[in-house]
Structure 1
Amino acid sequence: MTSTAPLTIDVVSDVVCPWCFIGMKRLQKAVAAAGVEVQVNWRPYQLDPTVPAEGLDRKAYMLGKFGSEDKIREIHGRIEPLGRAEGIAFDFDAITVAPNTLDAHRLIRWAGASGTAVQGRLVALLFSLYFEKGANIGDRAVLVEASREAGMDASVVEALLPTDTGLEEVRKEIATAAQMGVTGVPCFLLERRYAIVGAQEADTLADAIRQVSAAKARGELNDAG
């Protein structure tokens, strides 16, 4: 029997990226199938850092980005069945605001201080709020309520959000991802050595987890340059 070692997976993603939502679901399946102890950390990325803090009208934003309603319907039509296969009920028509995600990423970072389980619950909740319920996850009241539901101290979150706490750290993490060559999300970093880009199938992710875990158990990662 092949021996395994625990792995750390850092997922670089943005909570307004539908492929990241699909990637999260597939990673959950992969971890369950791989039979390896995995710690998942969520790292920030902004698909569009130019969106103002108050957000933008999503319909106008999407038209500006893709040019026509037909093109938008085509994109959504490609994503929706893939979502259904992973248990996601995408409701793009319910989304009215294209938010800036810096505050959401600050919240995800704070959740990580409470443990990976809390952080994972929060990330899943933010994806669901945005893509399945059309919530404005740039709205601080929405974020405070999400923190409460995820098991965080909502009163602390409510006090911190109006401040700059964590802002510089999140921006540095985003810059670090860019320096590492991350140009698309989701990006799964296994042991901070091996990158898997895109919402790969669960079987593909599970195989990669097993292979890197086995290599780590053999001590091969210690020698990697």
Structure 2
Amino acid sequence: MERVTIDVVSDIVCPWCYLGKARLELAIAEVQGEVGVDVNWRPYQLDPDASSTGTDYRAHLINKLGGAERLDEMQDTLRQHGREIGVTFRFDDIKVRANTLDAHRLLHWAGIEGREIQDRVATALFKAHFEDGVNVADHEVLIGIAGRCGLDSAVIANLLASDADKAKVLDEIEAARQMGVNGVPFLIFDGQYAVSGAQPPEVLAEALRDIARMKAEARKGMI
């Protein structure tokens, strides 16, 4: 069975990224037994100017999107898409426009421990923001998520209190922008093929099958 690695460039406060994560999980489930899939979570910041204490979430989005009506339409669409695959968006409970740099640092450290833990942390961060409405820039929130996901809370607390890996995460975000990533989610398959946006599960599943098929054919050609 061929294995495919997917680097998911995303941001924790991006609703399409949360939706895209759920759709990717459905796609991976669909190809189980046909294609092995390894997922790495890569950082991106849609709103790098947000503060660590946060400012008003809804007011910021109204200003960004050009009006409350447009925002409400987008959020209604996202709620509908979410209901179809079991994702709950509670936008009214989100009060804080949070900076996600420290959340991405946490994801980086989780990735060092392994893909399973990193994926667990990614899910917990999305849920904290979009379902629980908590500030994902708050260190206590991040430490709590780390502990529940199997990381050492004391170690994470010390790392968050320092500047550890800030430059590394920012460099990775800049590298993504230099590659042409200007919107997320952005999926990179085996470092070669890119898929932009929260694509339907069937599209992602077919992409996985196609890439696995090409890898298998290339391998045969080398024999």
TM-score bracket, shorter-length normalisation: over 0.9
Q: Which residue of 2 aligns with 1:207?
A: 206
Please give the secondary structure, in 1, of the residue aligned with 2:218.
coil
Q: Which 4+ residue blocks in structure 1 deviate beyond 4 angstroms? A: none
Q: Which residue of 2 aligns with 1:49?
A: 48
Normalised to the residue count of structure 1, the TM-score between the two structures is 0.94
Q: Which runs of 5+ in 1 are unaligned?
A: none
Q: Which residue of 1 aligns with 2:10?
A: 13
CA distance in structure 1 between the partners assigned to 2:2 and 2:74 by the alignment: 39
- Per-residue CA deviation, residues 92-115 of structure 1 (Å, 9 max, x unaligned), is 000000100000000000000110
Q: Which residue of 2 aligns with 1:90?
A: 89
| Aligned residue pair count | 219
Superposition RMSD on alpha carbons, in Å?
1.4
Q: Which residue of 1 aligns with 2:152?
A: 153
Q: Using the TM superposition, give the Cα deviation of residue 51 of structure 1 relative to its aligned residue in structure 2, in angstroms.
A: 1.2
- Per-residue CA deviation, residues 59-81 of structure 1 (Å, 9 max, x unaligned), is 22122212322222111111101
Normalised to the residue count of structure 2, the TM-score between the two structures is 0.95
CA distance in structure 1 between the partners assigned to 2:198 and 2:92 by the alignment: 23
Q: Using the TM superposition, give the Cα deviation of residue 219 of structure 1 relative to its aligned residue in structure 2, in angstroms.
A: 2.2
1:14 counterpart letter in structure 2:
D
- Per-residue CA deviation, residues 96-142 of structure 1 (Å, 9 max, x unaligned), is 00100000000000000110000000001110111011011011100
**Does the CA-based 8 Å contact 2:52-2:138 persist in structure 1?**
no
Q: Which runs of 5+ in 2 are unaligned?
A: none
CA distance in structure 2 between the partners assigned to 1:198 and 1:68 by the alignment: 23
Please give the secondary structure, in 2, of the residue aligned with 1:219.
helix
Q: Using the TM superposition, give the Cα deviation of residue 184 of structure 1 relative to its aligned residue in structure 2, in angstroms.
A: 1.2
1:85 counterpart letter in structure 2:
E
Q: Which residue of 2 aligns with 1:120?
A: 119
2:21 counterpart letter in structure 1:
M
Q: Which residue of 2 aligns with 1:185?
A: 184
Q: Using the TM superposition, give the Cα deviation of residue 180 of structure 1 relative to its aligned residue in structure 2, in angstroms.
A: 1.1
1:153 counterpart letter in structure 2:
D
Matched, 1:30 2:27: yes
Q: Which residue of 2 aligns with 1:131?
A: 130
